[in-house]
Amino acid sequence: MSSNLAIERDNIRKLFPDTFKQARKSRLKGQIIFFLIILYLIIGFFTLDVVDIPKKWKPQNAAMFILDTYAHKDHVTMKWENHDDIKIAFEGNYRSVYGRDNLDKSIPDWFYKNSDNVGNVVEFNNKGKAILYKDKVEIVNFPKYERDFTIKLNSNGKPYLVGSEDLVIEDLKGFRITENRVEFRPTLYERIQVYPKKVEIHRYSIGWKYFWFDFSSPLEPYTFFEALGLTFSNERVVPEMSNLKLFFTEIKDNDAFMHGRVWWAMLETIVMAVLGTMFATVMALPLSFLAAYNVTPIKTLRFMLRRLFDTLRGIDFLIWSLIFLRAFGPGPFTGIFAIGFTDTGTLGKLYSEAIENTEKKQQEGVQSTGANKFLQHRFGIIPQILPIFVSQSLYYLESNTRGAVIIGAMGAGGIGLQFLGALATGNDFENVAYMAILVLAVVIFMDRLSAWLRRILIGSDQLIVR
Amino acid sequence: MSKALPANLEQIEVNLKKLTNQRTRSSLLGIAILILIFFGGTLVSLEANAGSFGRGIANFFNYPRDLFVDTFEMGWKYWPRVIKYIPELIITLNIALFSTFIGFILAIIFAIFSSRNLIRNKRVIQFTKFLMDVTRSFPTLIIAMVFLYLMGKSSLPAVIAITIHTAGALGKLFTEAIENCDGKPIEGLSSVGATWTQKIRFSVLPQVLPLFLSYGILRLEINVRESTILGFVGAGGIGEMLAALIQWNYGADVLACMFLLVGTIIALDYLSAYWRHKLIGVNQ
């Protein structure tokens, strides 16, 4: 059987030698291209420092970043010289201190007096405790640790771990001891630091606290739905305004998540994308007719318009936004015009190609009734290209939303700039995550909206290209 | 037959009128919504913009004029300047090319696992589609900013961000291409007992590879723009140089960078149109 096949193959080879030679040639070409690509990838690998990823990738930083995007922490601070005044602050912010008279914010229930009535206890979520005394810190009850620990100050005023000589390495896991600091961090969620001057404890909990109402809000004691229920009640929470108004102003003016500002910025970004796309569509529509050979007989005009489209498109929206940023200053106009100018080029090119690809017969049919040129285009061409126009404009709407975020980050404002700001502060990662999710949601929404509109207007959500 | 005609005509008239009315109504509604969006958007823009619209229009030509004046003052000394920035341009191109390659490979893997005609398991398809949706929807800038923050200044964050975005964006297009390809070669290979990988290698890939390459080339063009923008926020290359030059107000150098960029993009535009034309015969 196999020998038969082999003979057959040889026969075929003899019959059509040219075909086989060509096949071998093209295969060789493919192999060379493959080899070149591999070569380039190796070069790129080294020139772009991909090898450095493990070196640059600091898992500790990344873990802290991720931790802060979904968790919040409370700081407990005790100064040795003034050990009665223990400060508990949300995220260490001096404006969000528990137990201050003016704020009427009671001490959280994980902070209480020890049973000996001397020490103060900070209880973590894993039931481990840190007990603060005027001269020492006791760490007790931590799961996975067999024994308790005590940290004291020595005669030089430096912190040290009592009895650390007797400890086995197993027990010392989680401790980091330097000359001026003893740190205990068994997991990411508990952190106890003892310095010569003070003790600082970070207690992490999961979730976005104060997402709806911020720390000092009168509605903070209530959950979102309780507060929503309060808007139907007659008793005012604060005498100055109605509950409904309070509800919305408190959410809008939230200090931590800044809903009002973020949503306004989001609106700016959406406006940039939508108006930019509208602007481009309106500009490209007449120009594309002038650039199509079956509508415009003047060759020079067509050529010039084609080059105009190329230039508008070639000057990337990055450069357009730089120019408009100088003219209009930060704000949506910059984004609208940058997107509009770039997309006038893109859409103009696509539209004019669509016009050139239209069926000639319909136009001839209209012509046969004695209609003039304008009517021929109106009834011969426009009905054919309208679905393509709509489809392409809507298709660009989604990518322009992403573009508007980027233009915003380069200085035009909107959610892009807010995002950069939150990232630059270096500790508001929950805001970074919030805005990233918001952007993601809006982009996906625009994508779905444009697909839905294309479906109901044209009957197909695929991009029509002819 | 001839008797029934007048009645039919009347019916047609009525139907036509109904249809026309309906169309006019929905067109008017659409136009009204568009006008509403336009005015609403304009109000938001006027409220949010730092400078006024009129002054902006008046100032529009100032900056380009300054740039050109700066350039003309330099005379012939200008050209060495342009050449000076070519290495920066090469960094940007390198970022784009490398991440397009890696993203292209990832996209093929994504596409194979999200095509209904290749994978039977619905869960796998849904999961891959979701993954592609997420990777595609994040603006590259946001991914790059986060990685820039975590890894410090270098080109790597740009590579990572563009690769992720490319994988999602190309993956979606590739999936459509695979799902629309002719099923008969697959059946033919099944009939001779080909394995799953053999089917993909000998029936699907030959059909879709030209289309894949065409999309890939188009993506490369987009990625060059993207890597310039990411350079602008600190990922290196000509974008970063441009940002610095703008801050220092070196008009002539800014224009040199802009010329290099625009020239590259237009050249790539033509090149990619030419390649794609050769690959798939039509200009998509």
Q: What is the predicted pLDDT for the residue at B6? A: 64
* A100 has pLDDT over 80: no
Nearest to A57 among B45, B151, B261 (CB): B151
Residues A93 and A13 in one domain: no
Amino acid identity of residue B201, one-letter, is R
Average pLDDT over residues A111-128: 83
- Say what the pLDDT of residue A465 is: 47
Same domain flag for A26 and A79: no
Nearest to A305 by CA among A363, A347, A334, A360: A347
A16-31: per-residue pLDDT in tens? 888 777 778 888 888 8
User: Is residue B43 domain-resident?
Assistant: yes
pLDDT band, very low/low/confident/very high, at A101 (cuts 50, 70, 90):
low
B159–A50 C-beta distance less than 8 A:
yes
Contact A63, A188 (CB under 8 A): yes
Please tell me the distance from the alpha carbon of residue A396 to that of residue B150, in angstroms, as a whole number: 32
Highest mean pLDDT among A246-260, A276-290, A366-380, A438-452: A276-290
B41, B246, B261: residue with CB nearest A316: B261
Tokens of A103: 């704020």
Looking at the structure, do residues B190 and B94 belong to the same domain, yes or no? Answer: yes
CB contact under 8 A, A409 and B228: no
| Same-domain pairing of A283 and A430 | yes
Residue B110 has pLDDT above 70, yes or no: yes
State the residue for tokens 């090319």: B97
Nearest CA in chain A to B132: A444
- Asked whether the beta carbons of A105 and A215 are under 8 A apart, the reply is yes
Average model confidence (pLDDT) across chain A: 83
Nearest CA to A424 among B50, B230, B234, B227? Answer: B234
Taking only the tens place, the pLDDT of each residue in A51-89 is: 777 777 777 777 878 888 888 888 888 888 887 778 888
Tokens of B174: 């590739």
Mutate to test the interface with A, among B229, B245, B265, B275 (most CBs of A within 10 A): B229
Residue to substitute from B59, B150, B227, interface A, most A β-carbons within 10 A: B150
Contact state of B94 with A56 under an 8 Å Cβ cutoff: no
Cα distance from B75 to chain A (closest Cα, Å)?
23
Instruction: Please list, in sequence order, all residues whose beta carbon lies within 8 angstroms of the beta carbon of residue B2, skipping any fewer than 6 positions away.
Output: none
Label residue A373 by pLDDT band (50, 70, 90). confident
Number of Cβ atoms within 10 Å of the Cβ of A221: 13
Q: Supply the pLDDT for residue A466.
A: 42
Residue B87: CATH number of its domain: 1.10.3720.10
- Closest chain B C-alpha to A91 CA, distance in angstroms: 21
Q: What percent of chain A has pLDDT over 70?
A: 96
Shared domain check, A128 and A18: no
Q: Give chain B's length.
A: 284
Q: Are A355 and A287 in contact (CB under 8 A)?
A: no
Average of per-residue pLDDT values in chain B: 86
* Phi–psi pair at A199, nearest 5 degrees: -115, 135
Domain-embedded: residue B66: no
Confidence tier at B265 by pLDDT (50, 70, 90): confident
Judge whether B162 and B99 are in contact, CB under 8 Å.
Answer: yes
Same domain, A413 and A285: yes
**What is the least distance, in Å, from the CA of B3 to any CA of chain A?**
29
Chain B residues lying within 8 Å of A61, measured CB to CB? 150
pLDDT of residue B283: 44
Partners of residue A90 on adjacent β-strands: A74
Amino acid identity of A396?
A: Y
Which positions in chain B touch A409 (Cβ < 8 Å)?
Answer: 141, 145, 233
CA distance, residue B188 to nearest chain A CA (Å): 20
User: Please, are residues A171 and A163 in contact by the beta-carbon 8 Å criterion?
Assistant: no
Same domain as A191, residue A305: no
Q: Is residue A228 part of a domain?
A: no
Do B198 and B114 lie in one domain? The reply is: yes
Residues of B in contact with A353 (CB under 8 A): 283
Cβ pair B165, B136 in contact under 8 A = yes
Q: Which of B249, B156, B204 is nearest to A326 (CA)?
A: B249
Round to the nearest angstrom and report the end-to-end CA distance of chain B. 50
Is residue A102 pLDDT above 70, yes or no?
no
- Are the C-beta atoms of residues B228 and B236 closer than 8 Å to each other? no
Res. A464 pLDDT band, cuts 50 70 90? low
Residue A11, token pair as written in the block? 């026969």
**Ramachandran area for residue A92 (φ above 0: left; ψ -120 to 50: alpha; else beta):** left
Tokens linked to A108? 């959280």
Q: Decide if A48 and B62 are in contact by the 8 Å CB cutoff.
A: no
Note whether B43 and B166 are same-domain residues: no
| DSSP state letter for A93 | -
With CB atoms and an 8 Å threshold, state whether A48 touches B155: yes
Do A372 and A279 fall within a single domain?
yes
Judge whether residue A287 has pLDDT over 90: yes
Strand order across the beta sheet in which A181-184 lies: A82-90, A71-79, A198-206, A190-194, A181-184, A175-178
Contact state of A402 with B139 under an 8 Å Cβ cutoff: yes
Q: Can you tell me the ipTM of this complex? A: 0.83
Please name the member of A62, A332, A416 whose beta carbon is closest to the beta carbon of B141.
A416
Q: Does B215 lie in the same domain as B112?
A: yes
Q: What is the pLDDT of residues B205-250, one digit of tens each?
A: 888 888 898 889 889 988 998 999 898 888 888 888 988 888 888 8
- How far is Cα A363 from Cα A351, in angstroms, rounded to an integer? 17
The last residue of one of the domains, among A141, A172, A206, is A206
In the structure, what pLDDT confidence band is assigned to residue B111 with cuts at 50, 70 and 90?
A: very high
pLDDT score of A103 more than 70: no
Are A284 and A427 within one domain? yes
What per-residue string of b and e applies to B211-236 under the rule 16 or more CB within 10 Å gives b? bbbbbbbbbbbbbbbbbbbbbbbbbb
**Buried-exposed string A197-215: b where 16+ CB fall within 10 A, e elsewhere:** eebbbbbbeeebbbbbbbb
CB contact under 8 A, B142 and A419: yes
pLDDT at residue B108 greater than cutoff 90:
yes
Cβ atoms A135, A146 nearer than 8 A: no
Same domain, B19 and B154: no
One domain for residues B40 and B87 = no
- B242: how many CB neighbours lie within 10 A of its CB? 25
Of A92, A70, A86, A79, which Cα lies nearest the Cα of A203?
A92
pLDDT of A1 higher than 60: no
Check CB contact under 8 Å for B141 and A331: no
Task: State whether B100 and B173 are in the same domain.
Answer: yes
**Percentage of chain A lying above the pLDDT 90 cut:** 13
Q: What is the pLDDT of residues A155-178, one digit of tens each?
A: 888 888 887 777 777 777 778 888
B223, B268 in Cβ contact below 8 A?
Answer: no
Tokens 């604060």 correspond to what residue? Answer: A238
Mean pLDDT of A242-257: 80
Residues A249 and A241: beta-carbon distance below 8 Å:
yes
Verify that B91 and B193 share a domain, yes or no: yes
Whether residue B121 is found in the same domain as residue B245:
yes
**Chain B residue nearest residue A417, CA to CA:** B142
Local confidence band at B5 (pLDDT 50, 70, 90 cut-offs) = low
Selection from A95-104, A155-164, B196-205 with the highest mean pLDDT: B196-205
Candidate from A48, A274, A413 with C-beta closest to B48: A413
**Residue B67 maps to a domain:** no
From A326's Cα to the closest Cα of chain B, the distance in A is 7
Average pLDDT on B11-23 reads: 88
Who's near A187: CB < 8 A, 6+ residues apart? A126
What domain range includes position B28?
4-59
Position A252 in a domain: no
- Could you tell me if A341 and A423 lie in one domain? yes
Residue-wise over A109-122: b if at least 16 C-beta within 10 A, else e? ebbeeeeeeebbbb
For residue A405, the domain's CATH number is 1.10.3720.10
Instruction: With a cut of 60, say whether residue B3 has pLDDT above it.
Output: no
Q: DSSP states of chain B as a string?
A: -TTHHHHHHHHHHHHHHHHHHHHHHHHHHHHHHHHHHHHHHHHHHHHH-SS-HHHHHHHTTHHHHHHHHHHHHHGGGHHHHHHHTHHHHHHHHHHHHHHHHHHHHHHHHHHHHH-TTT---HHHHHHHHHHHHHHHHS-HHHHHHHHHHHH-SSSHHHHHHHHHHHHHHHHHHHHHHHHTS-SHHHHHHHHTT--HHHHIIIIIHHHHHHHHHHHHHHHHHHHHHHHHHHIIIII-SHHHHHHHHHHHT-HHHHHHHHHHHHHHHHHHHHHHHHHHHHHHSS--
CB atoms within 10 A of CB A185: 14
Question: Which pLDDT value is given to residue A4?
Answer: 75
* Domain assignment present for A212: no
Question: Could you tell me if A160 and A294 lie in one domain?
Answer: no
Q: Show the domain range for A30.
A: 2-47
Kindly determine whether residue A268 and residue B45, on different chains, have CB atoms separated by under 8 Å. Answer: yes
- Shortest CA gap A399–chain B (Å): 9
| Residue B120 shares a structural domain with residue B195 | yes
Residue B117 domain-assigned? yes
**B131 lies in the same domain as B42:** no
Question: Do the chains contact at B38 and A278, CB–CB below 8 Å?
Answer: yes
Q: Do B141 and A405 touch (CB under 8 A)?
A: yes
A405/B139 touch (CB, cutoff 8 Å), yes or no: yes
Specify the number of domains making up chain A: 3
State the amino acid at position A71 in one-letter form: A
Among chain B residues, the shortest Cα distance to A435 is held by: B142
Mark yes or no for CB contact A332/B151 under 8 Å. Answer: no
Kindly state whether residues A298 and A149 are assigned to the same domain: no
Q: What tokens appear for B164 in the block?
A: 């992720």
Tell whether B172 and B137 lie within a shared domain.
yes
Residue-level pLDDT at B200? 87
User: CA of A4, closest CA in chain B: separation in Å?
Assistant: 19
The answer to whether the CB atoms of A314 and B265 lie below 8 A apart is yes
A194 and A303 belong to one structural domain: no
Residue A250 lies in a domain: no
Q: Is A23 helix (H, G, I), strand (E, B) or coil?
A: helix
- Residue B65, in any domain of the structure: no
Q: Which of A48, A315, A439 sits opposite B98 (nearest CB)?
A: A48
Residue of A nearest to B260 (CA): A315
Structural domain includes residue B269: yes
The answer to the question of residue B70 being in a domain is: no
Contacts of A59 in chain B (CB under 8 A): none
For residue A113, what are the β-bridge partners?
Answer: A120
Q: How many domains does chain B have?
A: 2
